[in-house]
Structure 1
Amino acid sequence: MKVYLLAAAAAILSLTATHEAAAQNRRNNNNTTTMPATSPTATTPDNTANPPADTNGKLDYRNPAADPLIPVEAEKRQPITDDLQATVVELLELFHDSKQSHWNLRGPIYLSLHEQLQENADEYRKYGDILAERVLQVGHPIDGRTSVIAATANLGGYPGGYLSDKQVLILMTERINTVAKRVRQRIEHMSKVDEVTSNQLQELSYALDKQVWKFRVMQQ
């Protein structure tokens, strides 16, 4: 009987030791971090943008290899840009003038004129965007900064403070009509340079003439 008990105790101790060893191995494996193998020849790709500078020291992000995709001949691009740049800044000036009047308007025909000024402002923004994108299409940047608008729109200053409906009608009609005349001159010029640009200016010309007509009727 004693021999049997001793044998059973020895078996239990042996089994316990085996389980303890297995548990220790699992703990060791969990605490071990495997480092990924690195290749001595692996390199990190350089994705840093480093465009060359132009003659004025400005960074040039253009890709000359894509120039053949520009849909207009090289000699036509600058004339298109010049005419549209001038038109865009004029439209941006008219936009600001319309909003200034829209906000500060006073007088008997406030409501109808208030709404018409907003409609006009939306059209200036619409056509300004169309013509600005045309400049980008021919491979040049557009400049719509406020400092450029103030320096090149050539429409004169616009009064601040409250504005009467009669005052706004006179001021805005004169300014719109001035831009409309300039646009017609550019249409004639562009008809000899680029038909697409000329057509875009014709659409703008119609919209400006319509605005002048509406304001003229309000004054009659």
Structure 2
Amino acid sequence: MKTLLQIQSSLSSDDGQSSQLAHRFAARWLQANPGGRIVVRDLARNPVPHLTAERFQAFLTDPEDRSPRQREIVAESETLIGELEAADAIAIGLPMYNFGIPSTLKAWIDHVARAGRTFRYTENGPEGLLADRPVYLLAARGGLYHGTPRDTQSAYMMNFLGFIGLHDVEFVYAEGLALGAEEAQATLQNAHAQIDRLAGVRLAA
């Protein structure tokens, strides 16, 4: 049974435009993968704690020396990493807040990017430890940022995903959503068409 991990990071949960794009993607993925399973990680409804010195120290402490609290913290991280490892494909709803990614998504990143677990340092530089699989980023933005210096999200997400071993990355952009109803409708139609093309070509492959 194939599995899609759907990550939502909109503060509006299911009502966010990026979440709705992710839902559309998931529906098309199911059509291309009958009998498949979707695991939803909603970071608005179930936020991952932000990284603290206590949590970081738990990751660094040798397993046999961890306190009960540290084992609990690491178990939370392991759950998130396990969802990544079990997924055949990953879809991330990606809204833009103040030119960056949501802080809840950054907290999730801080709990899955762990030295010795999802990446390691070698004499040739860092090496991702996750087996590559397709990642789809459904980016919803109020303005027009793609291809400009203000688009800090795209390079950041590509760098992070590649750092842990995920290089097969595809973006779907829905931009200009705050520039009027006509602009929003047009950009959403384009995003929907791109999702549908991905479903018809890549997802069924």
Query: With structure 1 as the length reference, what TM-score do the two structures score?
Result: 0.24
Structure 1 or 2, whichever has the larger Rg, is 1
Higher helix fraction (1 or 2): 1
TM superposition score normalised by structure 2:
0.25
Which structure has more relative contact order (CA 8 Å, sep 6+)? It is 2
Q: Compare the two structures and name the one with the higher strand fraction.
A: 2
